[in-house]
């Protein structure tokens, strides 16, 4: 998925752009004390303003139908593990493992992490929405939720506000500010999961997860924090126009001791509910036959849209999506992961930034000031868009001109928001591995 695909920010139909305006009107009228008057603009004149079912099918199926990202039993990759084995032992395994009491207890613990939490104040939610947009185009962020809910504005609003509440409860901002030591060095040093220094053949970041390096008894809190950190890191590694990432699950040496059902539940929930439309492809590579039983338990839990992006592949097939030499050695490539902690010089720079209270206040003020201008520009864009929608034939030309001017103004201000956020980010994001290896630019 890229910014240029149908239903994405650079390729919206008139109906989709109208739905985007109505969605922003709903968000601002609900969360901003200054924008209650926009509530009426979130309503369609005749229906919910959603694009046609055909348009939505085209938009939502882009990734699944791509020649590179798809697979079939007659081609490369499958949507289910290989079931050609016919011995009795194999078919017995397909009955699947049963949940132990330990598994059940772990899954129960995930409920607190997954739950969006109690209501926050409107201002807290609005500020978290601003922060979650980061240096992305704000429309890119909210369009993820619209597409995930098939352009149903009410459902998309519930989804995005739940995601905001979850971010506040999980203290995503605080986690990124505390950095690697807070996440836990164990996961980082073991190389459980990491981003490759290359993209796949569609320009998407690639994160490799070595399942055998994770034990189901590893601390759940560390797993939760590591998952959030990886998701947020991926957003920084994304390069325009890519809007989604590829995940490779390396199942080499997998055993049931590595099968962490609570982690699976966390990952599914995070991908579906809190980071929608961020997954382009998920490859499960070199899965042993025992995983068939596990897959029978997991598959019904996965949203069909997410499930359509999952492919099972042999090691020899992975270069269909990712250049062979760039793969880790366990998958036939040459890449060797190594985690290096911050050295003395980096720690000194971090301490210097932390001590720069005045700089942080100034950077935050500049970023929030830009967002206030964007809020006002978004109001103008919503109102002039509605005026164009309701224009008579004689009014169409002048109102179209006003809307185009409002759209351009809003886009220019959005660029300033992104620029100012980068200046603020250095105070609220502690640099880590991917800054050291050059995959993410160092703080300015």
What are the phi and psi torsion angles at 333 (to 5°)?
Answer: -100, -160
Structure-token pair, residue 438: 């050059």
Average pLDDT over residues 284-295: 93
More confident of the two residues 159 and 103 = 159
Name residue 345's beta-bridge partners.
none
Q: Which domain holds residue 130?
A: 14-61+116-159
- Domain-ending residue, one of 134, 159, 184: 159
Q: What is the pLDDT of residue 109?
A: 67
Which is it for the CA torsion 35, 39, 45, 47, positive or negative?
A: positive
In which element (H, E) is residue 14 found? Answer: helix 14-31
Yes or no: say if 322 and 174 are a contact pair by the CB < 8 Å rule.
no
Q: What is the pLDDT of residue 136?
A: 87
For residue 67, count CB atoms less than 10 angstroms from its CB and return exposed for 0-12, middle for 13-18, buried for 19 or more.
exposed
Same domain, 40 and 135: yes
In a domain, 164, yes or no: no
Structure-token pair, residue 338: 């190594």
Q: Within 13 Å of residue 238, how many CA atoms lie on the same side as its CB? A: 25
What are the phi and psi torsion angles at 199 (to 5°)?
Answer: -100, 170
In a domain, 2, yes or no: no
In a domain, 43, yes or no: yes
Cα 14 to Cα 21, 49, 51, distances in angstroms: 11, 10, 9
Cα(298)–Cα(430) distance, integer angstroms: 35
Which range has the worst mean pLDDT, 34-48, 230-244, 259-273, 386-400?
Answer: 34-48
In a domain, 9, yes or no: no
pLDDT at 352 over 70: yes
Residue 208 DSSP one-character state = E
In a domain, 105, yes or no: yes
Cα(421)–Cα(398) distance, integer angstroms: 35
195: CATH = 3.40.525.10
In a domain, 373, yes or no: yes
What are the phi and psi torsion angles at 198 (to 5°)?
Answer: -135, 165
Same domain, 106 and 124: no
Cα 2 to Cα 10, 21, 154, 197, 228, distances in angstroms: 9, 21, 25, 19, 22
Sequence-separated (6 or more) residues with CB below 8 Å from residue 425: 134, 135, 443
Whether a cis peptide bond, with omega within 30° of 0, leads into 241 is: yes
pLDDT at 10 over 70: yes
Burial annotation 407-426 (CB, 10 A radius, 16+ → b, else e): bebbeebbebbbebbebbbb
Same domain, 274 and 349: no
Same domain, 183 and 319: yes
Same domain, 105 and 139: no
Same domain, 237 and 293: yes
Q: What is the pLDDT of residue 219?
A: 92
More confident of the two residues 303 and 27 = 27
pLDDT at 338 over 80: yes
At residue 114 the predicted structure's pLDDT band, cuts being 50, 70 and 90, is: confident
Closest CA to 157 of 40, 50, 271, 27: 27
At residue 101 the predicted structure's pLDDT band, cuts being 50, 70 and 90, is: confident
Q: What is the pLDDT of residue 433?
A: 97
Tens digits of residue pLDDT in 360-370: 999 999 999 99
Same domain, 80 and 92: yes
Report percent pLDDT > 70 for the chain.
Answer: 86
Same domain, 95 and 40: no
At residue 74 the predicted structure's pLDDT band, cuts being 50, 70 and 90, is: very low
Structure-token pair, residue 214: 């994770």
Report percent pLDDT > 90 for the chain.
Answer: 77
In a domain, 412, yes or no: yes
Structure-token pair, residue 239: 């390069």
Question: What is the number of structural domains in the chain?
Answer: 3
Which is it for the CA torsion 275, 279, 284, 285, positive or negative?
A: negative
More confident of the two residues 63 and 348 = 348
Average pLDDT over residues 30-37: 97
Same domain, 99 and 46: no
Same domain, 98 and 214: yes
Sequence-separated (6 or more) residues with CB below 8 Å from residue 349: none
> Over the chain, what is the mean pLDDT?
88
Same domain, 202 and 245: yes
Yes or no: say if 285 and 241 are a contact pair by the CB < 8 Å rule.
no
In a domain, 221, yes or no: yes
Yes or no: say if 434 and 237 are a contact pair by the CB < 8 Å rule.
yes
Burial annotation 2-40 (CB, 10 A radius, 16+ → b, else e): bbebbbbbeebeeebbbbbbbbbbbbbbbbbeebeebee
Name residue 328's beta-bridge partners.
335
Cα(315)–Cα(333) distance, integer angstroms: 10
Distance of CA 428 to the CA centre of its chain: 20
Look up the pTM and report it.
0.87
Q: What is the pLDDT of residue 92?
A: 40
More confident of the two residues 94 and 32 = 32
Cα(273)–Cα(114) distance, integer angstroms: 9
Yes or no: say if 300 and 268 are a contact pair by the CB < 8 Å rule.
no
Same domain, 286 and 416: no
pLDDT at 93 over 90: no
Yes or no: say if 434 and 440 are a contact pair by the CB < 8 Å rule.
yes
Q: What is the pLDDT of residue 82?
A: 55
Structure-token pair, residue 396: 């169409």
Yes or no: say if 188 and 339 are a contact pair by the CB < 8 Å rule.
yes
Closest CA to 250 of 199, 200, 192: 192
Which range has the worst mean pLDDT, 11-15, 88-92, 252-256, 305-309?
Answer: 88-92
């Amino acid at each position: 998925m890229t910014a240029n695909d149908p239903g994405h920010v650079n390729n919206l139909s008139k109906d989709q752009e109208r739905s985007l305006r109505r969605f922003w009107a709903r968000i601002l009228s609900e969360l901003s004390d200054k924008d209650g008057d926009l509530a009426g603009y979130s309503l369609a004149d005749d229906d919910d303003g959603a694009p046609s079912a055909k348009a939505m099918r085209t938009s939502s199926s882009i990734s699944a139908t791509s020649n590179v990202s798809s697979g079939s039993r007659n081609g490369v990759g499958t949507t289910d593990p290989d079931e050609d084995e016919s011995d009795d032992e194999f078919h017995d395994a397909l009955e699947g493992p049963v949940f132990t009491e330990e598994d059940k207890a772990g899954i129960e613990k995930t409920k607190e992490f997954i739950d969006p939490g109690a209501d926050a104040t409107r201002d807290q939610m609005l500020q978290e929405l601003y922060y979650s947009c980061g240096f992305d185009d704000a429309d890119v962020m909210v369009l993820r939720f619209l597409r995930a809910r098939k352009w149903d504005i009410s459902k998309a609003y519930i989804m995005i506000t739940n995601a905001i509440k979850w971010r506040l409860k999980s203290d995503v901002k605080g986690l990124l500010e505390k950095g690697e030591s807070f996440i836990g060095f164990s996961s980082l040093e073991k190389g459980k999961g990491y981003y490759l220094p290359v993209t796949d053949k569609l320009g998407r970041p690639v994160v490799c997860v070595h399942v055998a390096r994770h034990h189901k008894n590893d601390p759940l809190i560390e797993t939760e924090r590591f998952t959030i950190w990886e998701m947020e890191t991926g957003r920084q590694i994304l390069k325009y126009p890519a809007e989604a990432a590829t995940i490779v699950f390396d199942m080499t040496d997998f055993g049931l001791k590595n099968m962490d059902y609570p982690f699976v539940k966390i990952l599914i929930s995070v991908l579906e509910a809190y980071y929608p439309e961020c997954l382009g492809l998920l490859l499960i590579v070199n899965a042993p036959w025992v995983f068939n039983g596990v897959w029978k338990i997991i598959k019904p839990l996965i949203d069909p849209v997410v499930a359509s992006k999952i492919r099972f592949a042999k090691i020899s097939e992975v270069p269909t999506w990712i250049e062979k030499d760039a793969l880790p050695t366990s998958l036939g490539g040459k890449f060797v992961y190594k985690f290096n902690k911050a050295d003395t010089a980096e720690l000194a720079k971090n301490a210097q930034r932390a001590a720069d209270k005045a700089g942080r206040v100034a950077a935050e003020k500049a970023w929030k000031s830009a967002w206030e201008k964007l809020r006002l520009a978004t109001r103008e864009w919503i109102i002039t868009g509605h005026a164009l929608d309701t224009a008579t034939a004689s009014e169409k030309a002048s109102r179209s001109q006003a809307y185009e001017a409002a759209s351009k103004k809003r886009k220019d201000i959005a660029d300033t928001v992104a620029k100012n956020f980068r200046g603020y980010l250095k105070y609220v994001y502690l640099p880590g591995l991917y800054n050291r290896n050059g995959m993410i630019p160092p703080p300015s």
